[in-house]
Structure formats: structure tokens, C-alpha cells
Structure 1
């Protein structure tokens, strides 16, 4: 039986426009936080409760995961003029998060929006940047951002004479950039990433390929000279 090689994904132009900002954000996280102390939060399937109750439950789980369980996130649904979520930052310990009323009828992506807003609170508590690219990167790298990539969907509606393609996504990074951050974390921590489905799976594969390519960038992928700090011997090494 022939072995078929799965083709490597090819990213469209512009897919990784923010990659330098993402890398800078990851470096900043390592300089300011004990990054490896944060695991990956696995949220249980929604038990079918009221969307507001489920939102409160999810927000509380995220704050506990991030070590800020002393905060209380109060969630409400209200029109936001085109935004999907908003948080009021202050001295705490209570923080108010508003979600678009859209999520009352379609609560699938509530965890994705809450992850971003709760990360705003976490970064605020630690005196770190509130820039949206930084927030998205931190959300994904510190273990609560999987729902953001999982929210990426491409649906095709086929009518009798028409064919319409709709895309749903959450966040300021492109889906492949989100996949890149998740893959960077997995490679750094030796983690296995649970497979995604649909369009999110393709985005993760693109991000994973880009993350792997980082190991071929200078100064990796060349010969270097290393000096032993004990005996001062020189060694030629291939990185």
C-alpha cells in the first residue's frame, strides 16, 4: 500500500502580518511572568444552562486558572455598537464584562470572547500592556485561548441558484497566527494539542508549520563555536 504524504499547508499572503508583534509579546511574557506555571484550561462542555449563568461559570474558571480567583467577573449582555465584548477595568475586585446580545441566541463562542476580556483583567492586575495584539497573544500562550481559534468557522450555504460563504472568527490575530501561538506554546512545553475541526484545523496547521520554521532561522541552522565555562575549551557545534 502506498504511503501518501499530507501536503504542507501554504499560507496566503498577509496571513502572518503581525508575527513580529506576536514574537515580541511572547518574549515580554517570559520576562514578566512565570509562564510555565500556567497550564492549559480545559473547559467542560456547556451543560445547557442559561447563557448568562454559563458565562459567569466560564469567567470564574478562567480567573482561577490565571491565579486571580479573588476577582469577581460580572457578565451582562448589552449592545456594544459592533464590538463583541468589553471590559471595565478598575481597582477591583469586581470587574464588569459586557457581551453582545448575539451570544444570548448563539452562545457557542462565549468562551472565546470571555477569554480575551478576562485576559485584559489579568494583564491590568499585573501592570502589563493592554494592546489588543498583546492581549490575544497572552490569552493563547497562557492557556485560556483555545476557544478563540475553535471559534473560527467557514460555512457554505448552498441555495438553489446561489452559493454563499460566511466566516466567523473572534480576536485581533488571524486564525493562523493564533495557531502559531498555540504551537509555540506546545513546542516549548512539550504538550500535545487536541485536534481542531474544520477551518480551525487548517489554521492551526499553518501556524504549526510557521512555528517549526522558527527553528531554522538564524542563529539556529548554522555552525557556532561554544566555550566551556569550566575548562575554557572551544567546541565547534552544529545548531
Structure 2
């Protein structure tokens, strides 16, 4: 019978193959479509996302909103941590679903409000996951890791392998950012914003359409949290197992 560690290693191996896979012809064709979609989206929507991303990074690195009352879980096995994280994933998926349905039913203004609200839900989730895997989110280096996990979850197929390598080799990556401000200086804002927009644009635009906004908003938000949950869980599992290696 396989040990839990062996089961996790197999799941990690499959996930690693998935995130490092070369872009397909479908990815290349959809990139062209996505570029055209971006040109059709009103500047007001682009500005909301851009501002939300910038505020998110600053809040993560220099704010205290997400670190309050969060303490690393000590003395727990990987299996116990995984179970607690699975519970969090289910909780946040339902939270995102309700939020998406509510803003989607409210028309364009509330639909636009969904962008920063959904970002906040995603960040709270990531901070909870980090704590459950035993990492102290009051340490700015752990908050940097959270931002890289976020970036990996929403990076394009053309950049995903590069971001994965940074996550997988975190001890080397974090040395590039000796201070919080160093990351703020180095981060490529345009690239991060564009990747996030490309990931959510078409689906979120449908959320602004009267009559179907509530249904689309609920489904899309639920799916976004499911995808983020898978990425976060595997990223932190990888670090836990690396730290356990002599």
C-alpha cells in the first residue's frame, strides 16, 4: 500500500508536467483571439483591473490586512495540512460563488466591483493556505512566495514554465529580493496585469451582460478558486517536502 507521501509525490509529478507543458496550437490561436478581445474591452474595465493589481501587491507586501490573526500551523503532518486546506478550498469556492452571483446580478457597476472583491477573496485564501502549511505570513519573504503562487496560477502558457521554475527553486529566487521594496522595483507591472487580464477577461466580460451575469459570475468565480486552490496546494506541498529533505 502506498504511503501518503508517495501519493502526494505522484500528484505533484502530474501537476509539474501540466504546468511545464509547452504551449499548444490551441494556446497560440486563443492568444490571437484574446488580443482582439482586449482591444474591444472598455478602458474603464482595464483601468479597474490595473489599479486592483497594483493595490493587491502593495497590500500584500506592506500592509497588515492579510496577516492579522494568522499564525503558522505547527506540529501537523502533511496529510493533516492537506485536509485542512481542502476544507478551505471548499469554503472559499462557495464564498466566491456567492460574491460572483451577487455582483453579476447587479449590472455593469457591480460587475466592475467584482474585480477587486474577487482579488481580495483570492488573497485571503492564499494567506490561509500558507499558514496551514506552517509558513509565517508575517515574514515578507513568505508574502513574496504568495505573490509568485498567484502569478503562476494566472500566468500564460507561454510564461508558466518560467514562473514555475522560480517557485520550485524558491530558496534561490528569494535571494533576488533582499527587501520588500526591491520586489516593488523589479516587478513587471504590465506583464502581471496582462496575464491576469488574459486569464479572466472573456469570462468576466460575460458577467457584465444583463440577464446572464449572475449565472456566469457564480460559475466563473467558483472555477477560478478551484484552479487557484490546485496551484496553491501543490506549490506549498512542494516546499514542505523540500524542507523535509535532509
TM-score, structure 1 as length reference: 0.24
Higher helix share: 2
TM-score, structure 2 as length reference: 0.23
Higher strand share: 1
Q: Rg bigger for which structure? A: 1
